[in-house]
Structure 1
Amino acid sequence: MKNLSDLVYGIVGFGLMGGSLAKAIRENVLSSSCAHGSIFASDINSASLTLAKEQGIADEIFPVSGVDEMLSQCDFVFICLYPHATLEFLIQHKNSFKSGAVVTDISGVKTEICSHLDEFVSGNFDFIPGHPMAGSEKEGYVNSSGSIFKNHNYILMPLAASKPENVNLFKQLVSMMGFTRIVETDAAVHDHKIAFTSQLCHVIAGALVSSAEDSQITAFGGGSFEDLTRIAMINAPLWTELFLANKKELLLQIENFEKSLDEIKNFIITEDSDSLKRCLENVREKRISMGKI
């Protein structure tokens, strides 16, 4: 197996997630004096690249016009772009990746990308879709942190052609970066599950904030509102794309949530305390059984 500390890592898109991945790799994989690996970065924002170079996070930086030169030297590439831009990038630069490289994306929806595999996948590189289940309500490289991945989940979607040794290398890498649970699945299951655990949560948080009577309501908060709505401070362009790209699955989850909300609403309307109590007790037990509170 390849030595992770000797690889050249390429990161396309050096915002919050790209920067955090770079910092996690720098801190956990390339920190040893015996490490000979490097981190290359490319982004449209030259200021972020310059800062990353000054901080010693990126060894080499490349403008968008020089990304093909970067890709030709990288052993492991993370594409950290919006879903549609990720697909466009893969198609446009499919012939630029280094032979034998492992290439992955971090897109929050996968079905659309995987439905176009025949347009960019070749025997030249090993494309393994992935999704780090971590992030922040903040944006940009300046808010990136190598610690945001600790004790989080990483979803991998190996293709039929993915080489087992590369999948194992990927798992080893993300474990070193701080992820504690790695799940293997396919694009369809990923998008179905993510519609509930991520996208629906953002929809609910947004709707809750939108329904607030006034902006001073937080003076009456005790933590619950703050906990529920942190993710409402949302990257609107990104999440608009994610919601619409996973429209079918997200609408299904919204409808299921509406049914549960209506049930509780009706218990309150009818003052059915016994049913309401049983419902809340069942919810508590179900949440406990899910783990990771």
Structure 2
Amino acid sequence: MKPKVITIIGLGLMGGSLAARCRKRYPSARIIGVSRQKQALALALRKKWIHRGTRNLSDAVIDSDLIVLCTPADTTFRFLKLLDAAAKPGAVVTDVGSVKERIQAWADSRRFKRIRFVGGHPMAGSHHRGIAAAHEDLYHKSTVFLVKSAATKPDAFRLVRSFWKQIGCRTVTLTGAAHDRIVAEISHWPHAVAAALVLATTSHSRRYAASGFLDSTRIAQGDPSIWMPIFMQNRREILRAAGSFEKRLRAFKTLLAKKNVSGIRAFLAQALRERRQISF
């Protein structure tokens, strides 16, 4: 079943881009946007990404078949409670948050009266923020992780999976724990590394930075208010990823200190081979 009314809560980069995509991929659906920012609502309406915009959550979800939370990770718990009191019975709720185990366990332990929750996380984004940076193609060909547990309602899961496929994404089903381990390695810890690379250089050296340094540190421009709850919620897996990274870094430092040319060459060659195996 295709949703007839889709409500997107949070019209920043992620929510604004999703609204734009929904208008193209769900032309017969009614798209409602929710934001605290009047400017975001005005822009989304002007671009015709949404049919209606409101700051009133209850009013926005009363007829919604599908509700997508595009808000910071530390707001998901609060919004699910509010939605369970305001949404129509049977409404499906999903999200775009990048930490899943904790919220899924919490959702599984609750007896929601109205909503059915399916955790999601599209691997899409940018260091830019706000609806001004939103664009229709942000999610194009992205991977979307969908969390499935014993408590997940099968029909709700099918609707969310179908939704993301219609948006143009590839879906991968896994547990919250498996998700958090993966993204700690390929997203969360790399963000900390990018920040450390910036802080490890002097302002004088950075004057001469070229594409290599700029590419390696681009994500350090991310908004700290978005990343802080991510680091705190996925702390255990990020620390595990940090330990693995430190082990590799120590190995390289030892090779360099000992002037082990063949060892350094092998280290770099292995990284080259494995990096080339990554497909986009």
Q: What residue is the counterpart of 2:68 in the other structure?
A: 78
Q: How many angstroms does 1:212 deviate by?
A: 1.5
Q: What residue is the counterpart of 1:228 in the other structure?
A: 216
Asked if the contact 2:14–2:125 (Cα under 8 Å) also holds between the matched residues in 1, the reply is yes
Q: What residue is the counterpart of 2:30 in the other structure?
A: 38
Q: What residue is the counterpart of 2:156 in the other structure?
A: 166
Q: Name the amino acid aligned to 2:134.
A: S
Asked if the contact 2:100–2:177 (Cα under 8 Å) also holds between the matched residues in 1, the reply is yes
Q: Name the amino acid aligned to 2:75.
A: A
- Tell me, in whole angstroms, the C-alpha distance in 1 between the residues paired with 2:184 and 2:228: 13
- Tell me, in whole angstroms, the C-alpha distance in 2 between the residues paired with 1:277 and 1:119: 51
* Deviation larger for 117-126 or 54-63: 117-126
Q: What residue is the counterpart of 1:274 in the other structure?
A: 262
- Tell me, in whole angstroms, the C-alpha distance in 1 between the residues paired with 2:209 and 2:15: 37
Q: How many angstroms does 1:215 deviate by?
A: 5.4
Quick one: which of 173, 195, 205 aligns to 1:184?
173
- Tell me, in whole angstroms, the C-alpha distance in 2 between the residues paired with 1:220 and 1:18: 33
Q: What residue is the counterpart of 2:92 in the other structure?
A: 102
> Is the partner of 2:85 in helix, strand or coil?
coil
Q: What residue is the counterpart of 1:87 in the other structure?
A: 77
Q: Name the amino acid aligned to 2:102.
A: E
Q: What residue is the counterpart of 2:183 in the other structure?
A: 194
Q: TM-score, normalised by structure 1?
A: 0.90
Determine if the alignment matches structure 1 residue 24 to structure 2 residue 21. yes
Structure 1: gaps spanning 5 or more residues:
none
- Tell me, in whole angstroms, the C-alpha distance in 1 between the residues paired with 2:111 and 2:20: 28
Quick one: which of 36, 43, 55 aligns to 2:47?
55
Alignment RMSD (CA, Å) = 1.8
> Is the partner of 2:67 in helix, strand or coil?
strand
Q: What residue is the counterpart of 1:292 in the other structure?
A: 279
Q: How many angstroms does 1:118 deviate by?
A: 5.3
Q: What residue is the counterpart of 1:265 in the other structure?
A: 253
Q: May I ask how many residue pairs the two structures share in their alignment?
A: 280
- Tell me, in whole angstroms, the C-alpha distance in 1 between the residues paired with 2:110 and 2:171: 26
Q: How many angstroms does 1:82 deviate by?
A: 1.4
Structure 2: gaps spanning 5 or more residues:
none
Task: Using the aligned pairs only, state the percent identity.
Answer: 28
The structure 1 segments of at least 4 consecutive aligned residues displaced by more than 6 Å after TM superposition are none
Q: What residue is the counterpart of 2:201 in the other structure?
A: 212
Q: What residue is the counterpart of 1:9 in the other structure?
A: 6
Structure 1 pair 269/220, CA: closer, same or farther in 2 (3 Å)?
same
> Is the partner of 1:138 in helix, strand or coil?
coil
- Tell me, in whole angstroms, the C-alpha distance in 1 between the residues paired with 2:217 and 2:166: 31
> Is the partner of 1:283 in helix, strand or coil?
helix
